[in-house]
Amino acid sequence: MQLYIGNKNYSSWSMRPWVAMRQFGIPFEEVMVRFDSFEPDSRFKHLLARLSPVGKVPLLVDEGFVVWDTLAIAEYLAEKFPQHALWPRDARARARARSLCAEMHSGFGALRSACPMNIEARLPEIGQRILAEQQAVRADLSRLAAMWTEALAASGGPFLFGEFSLADAYFAPVASRVHTYALPLPPEAAAWAAHVLAAPGVAAWVEDALAERDFLDFEEPYRKAR
């Protein structure tokens, strides 16, 4: 299988399936399509248009069959590799994990917009200012903390549903944002965020992101690219 991704420092959606596949030992070939812009005539859009009508990453290609959208990729992998239990083994926990991932997929727009993923950056002052000025971001962070704390209380941790699952992979980019912008969390949620960032699949992505040194102006709203 091939997984098409964008720049690791910035591409939160690409991070999700990559981390899951790496964490569970699912073999794949990484194909990185560098962000140049997201305009219709960009090289990024031109390359991806050959494979997918949406022209976005991530894309999973399995013997010529293309799966786009992170949730679709997650379900495809879970069905193709049932031995790995990518979703929690318990039916109710599995349903709750899917619910949390779907909520992430369609929500938290204020946090995602104000605090874009930037693994290399450390922007605590920006995070403090955003929280002071944007009630919607505060509401997003509060909801995230509540959902994580509730899941951890039910499972006993250390991951959201006990063992590492697609839910942890799905929220790993948010844990990265928490780190970049020094966003405050209650102790249980903060401990999970630190734990998930140390998971082998996540740590491998972070290591690669730090090695990229490919800074893009349009992905750097709070500082100039170097």
Tens-digit pLDDT string for the chain (226 aa): 999 999 999 999 999 999 999 999 999 999 999 999 999 999 999 999 999 999 999 999 999 999 999 999 999 999 999 999 999 999 999 999 999 999 999 999 999 999 999 999 999 999 999 999 999 999 999 999 999 999 999 999 999 999 999 999 999 999 999 999 999 999 999 999 999 999 999 999 999 999 999 999 999 999 875 5
Distance CA 158, CA 105 (A): 23
Confidence at residue 225, expressed as pLDDT on a 0 to 100 scale = 55
pTM higher than 0.85, yes or no?
A: yes
Structure tokens at 134: 């944007």
Rg (CA), the chain: 17
Q: Could you give the 3-state DSSP secondary structure of residue 94?
A: helix
Question: Domains in the chain, ordered, with CATH?
Answer: 2-84 (3.40.30.10), 91-206 (1.20.1050.10)
- Is beta strand 29-32 parallel, antiparallel or unpaired with respect to 2-5? parallel
Return phi, psi of residue 4, to 5°.
-90, 130
Confidence at residue 98, expressed as pLDDT on a 0 to 100 scale = 98
